[in-house]
Amino acid sequence: MVATQPELNHKIQVVLVWGNNPPVNLTLLKSLPNLKAIVNGGVGVDHLEIALINSFGVKVSNTPNVVDNSTADMAMGLMLTSGRRIIQGDRFSRDHKDGEDLDESLLGTDISGGTLGIVGMGRIGYKVAKRAAAFDMKILYHNRNRRPEEEERSVRATYCPMLADLLGTSDFIVVAVNLTKQSTHLIGREQLSAMKPSATLINISRGMVVDQEALVEALQNKWIRSAALDVTYPEPLPRDHPLLSLPDVIVLPHMGTHTLETSGHMVQRMLTNALAAMAGETPPDEVTV
């Protein structure tokens, strides 16, 4: 509507952003004189220039909490799929020759009893820990701030003040931080080389949190066993990207919240924020710089 019917632009008070569309830039902001809010579907707002948007008197909101369970489920799904080599087993069932038996290349690794390192124990990271506790995993976590002791006890988690303390002992490492300037390439060559050769890296945060060139190097040189990624940069990856040719890598097109239920909850929350802004109120999920 903004692009094709500019005569209606003065009527638009809220723009709903889904999957980074429409792009919110200076041109759009200048074209909507009565805009009150940009409402983003999802938690991450790294694609929005909040300071620029606010400079037009426009508020920004997202949809926290409603995505936590589906994203945590995805982390566990990636862990199980990678650790138990489920995709490779499916391929064998479809492509094997008559009489061919399973070989040691399809041997997986136990999830139960393993050590899980969580990088970023916010709402989603904590939900991952709750799920992993049911698998009797030893849980380590690194966070800017330590969680209350009662929360640590409830999932039997141990706080690691330094990221390095977690990397060298974890069998599975789940990255669940927000993308900021500080977290860009948080997992790079140094961190990957510090991991166990049998470790699996799982990224459910944002692609730019992991240095993908360093990850390719780590996998090719067997610094780590495997990687399972719900997020990359760009999304989706080009078909010729080297990550897609490596045998022990799972790459998804950012599907962490891609369920019917979660999508419905997100839309409902977006509408709640939009209606609040249109009524001159502060959106309940306002995001500030």
Enumerate the active-site residues.
206, 235, 254
Verify cis geometry, omega within 30 degrees of 0, for the bond prior to 236.
yes
Alpha-carbon gap, residue 32 to 250, rounded angstroms: 42
Q: Are 151 and 122 in contact (CB under 8 A)?
A: no
Alpha-carbon gap, residue 284 to 1, rounded angstroms: 26
Which stretches of the chain are DSSP H helices? 26-31, 50-55, 68-83, 86-95, 123-133, 149-155, 163-167, 189-193, 212-220, 260-278
Alpha-carbon gap, residue 229 to 174, rounded angstroms: 10
Which DSSP string do the residues of 2-42 spell out, in sequence order?
TTT-GGGGGG--EEEEETTBS---HHHHHH-TT--EEEEES
CA-CA-CA-CA dihedral for 257, 262, 268, 269, to nearest 10 = -50
Strands lying side by side in the sheet with 14-18:
14-18, 37-41, 59-61
Alpha-carbon gap, residue 176 to 286, rounded angstroms: 21
Radius of gyration for the alpha carbons in the chain, expressed in angstroms and rounded? 21
Q: Characterise 156 by phi-psi region: left (phi > 0), alpha (psi -120 to 50), beta (else).
A: left
Alpha-carbon gap, residue 107 to 212, rounded angstroms: 26
Q: Are 55 and 78 in contact (CB under 8 A)?
A: no
